[in-house]
């Protein structure tokens, strides 16, 4: 484990998201729907959003390359958010049919990666997303996140990547452990029911550097860690959400450096 990881997280918790009334880390939880598989993740500069071939399709032009080869059955997900407004989207490709059909999901155009998003889904980490809808037209996506300069990328079967507010972190049995709450059984929850292997990304929003924390994310009883549960409850109350329906614990078993323009390594 990097010696600066805990101080880095302590620093993020204190200052990363000043528009919240309660200290927290804005993490991103990357999941897949296949048992014992982990998403491959990256941060990438975002150059352009443009309409795709259907009303809800979005072409995402990024600087760089995929973190690895996309395999049959896998999809690409790009998460783009206006963090301070609690607004954002996951833009997902179709699942790849075969290695020869990759152009239906993405293209490498010089030094740019063009992701052919089939649909955009709202990210539900704040009070405003509950007013959005799941077949989002391109104009809505562009108006909301068209000015954003970076995206968070995930590859895998049923790959999903959603913001999660981490209200507590600690070393537990020698492993970095983070806690967050959830109120709705959305796509991330469905993936975790099938596969607890997950990557938590935590990075400085200004410098776009941080860490990808690979491990397991599981729902735990409220009395397992009273200190963590209290921190999550207070965070939800500060957001006006009431008490979360579920408490999740992510145990990190591998740490990789994360920087915009480079795959986690």
Q: What is the CATH T-level fold of the domain 5-259, as seen in this structure?
A: Pnp Oxidase; Chain A (2.30.110)
> CA-CA distance, 204 to 251, in Å (whole number)?
21
> CA-CA distance, 249 to 52, in Å (whole number)?
38
DSSP letters, 107-147, are EEETTEEEEEESEEEE--SSSSGGGS-SS--HHHHHHHHTT
Sequence-separated (6 or more) residues with CB below 8 Å from residue 145: 49, 80, 81, 82, 87, 88, 89
The domain ranges of the chain are 5-259
Q: What is the CA radius of gyration of the chain?
A: 17
Quick one: which of 114, 132, 118, 143 has its CA closest to 54?
118
Beta bridge partners of 85: none
Give the pLDDT of the chain (265 residues) as one tens digit per residue.
788 999 999 999 999 998 888 899 999 999 999 998 999 999 999 999 999 988 889 999 999 889 999 999 999 999 999 988 888 999 999 999 876 667 889 999 888 999 999 999 887 554 444 445 567 889 989 999 999 999 999 999 999 998 999 999 999 888 999 999 987 767 888 999 999 999 999 999 999 999 999 999 999 999 999 999 999 999 999 888 889 999 999 999 999 999 998 766 5
Has this prediction a pTM greater than 0.85? yes
Q: Where are the alpha helices (DSSP H) in 71-220?
A: 138-145, 187-194
């Amino acid at each position: 484990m990097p010696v600066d990881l805990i101080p880095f997280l302590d620093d993020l918790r204190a200052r990363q998201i000043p528009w919240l009334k309660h200290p927290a880390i804005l993490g991103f939880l990357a999941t897949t729907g296949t048992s014992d598989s982990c998403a491959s993740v990256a941060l990438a500069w975002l150059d352009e959003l443009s309409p795709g071939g259907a009303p809800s399709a979005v072409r995402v032009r990024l600087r760089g390359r995929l973190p690895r080869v996309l395999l049959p059955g896998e999809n690409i997900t790009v998460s783009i958010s206006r963090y301070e407004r609690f607004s954002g989207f996951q833009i997902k490709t179709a699942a790849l049919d075969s290695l020869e059909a990759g152009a239906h999901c993405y293209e490498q155009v010089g030094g740019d990666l063009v992701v052919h998003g089939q649909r955009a889904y709202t990210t539900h980490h704040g009070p405003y997303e509950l007013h959005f809808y799941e077949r989002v037209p391109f104009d809505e996506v562009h108006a909301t996140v068209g000015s954003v300069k970076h995206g968070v990328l995930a590859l895998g079967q049923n790959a999903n990547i959603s913001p999660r507010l981490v209200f507590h972190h600690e070393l537990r049995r020698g492993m970095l452990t983070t806690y967050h709450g959830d109120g709705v059984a959305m796509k991330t929850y469905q993936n975790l029911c099938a596969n607890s292997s997950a990557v938590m990304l935590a990075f400085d929003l200004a410098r776009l550097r941080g860490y990808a924390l690979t491990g397991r994310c599981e729902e735990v009883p409220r009395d397992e860690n009273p200190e963590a549960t209290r921190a999550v409850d207070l965070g939800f109350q500060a957001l006006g959400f009431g008490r979360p329906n579920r408490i999740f614990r992510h145990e990190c078993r591998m740490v990789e450096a994360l920087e915009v323009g480079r795959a986690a390594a």
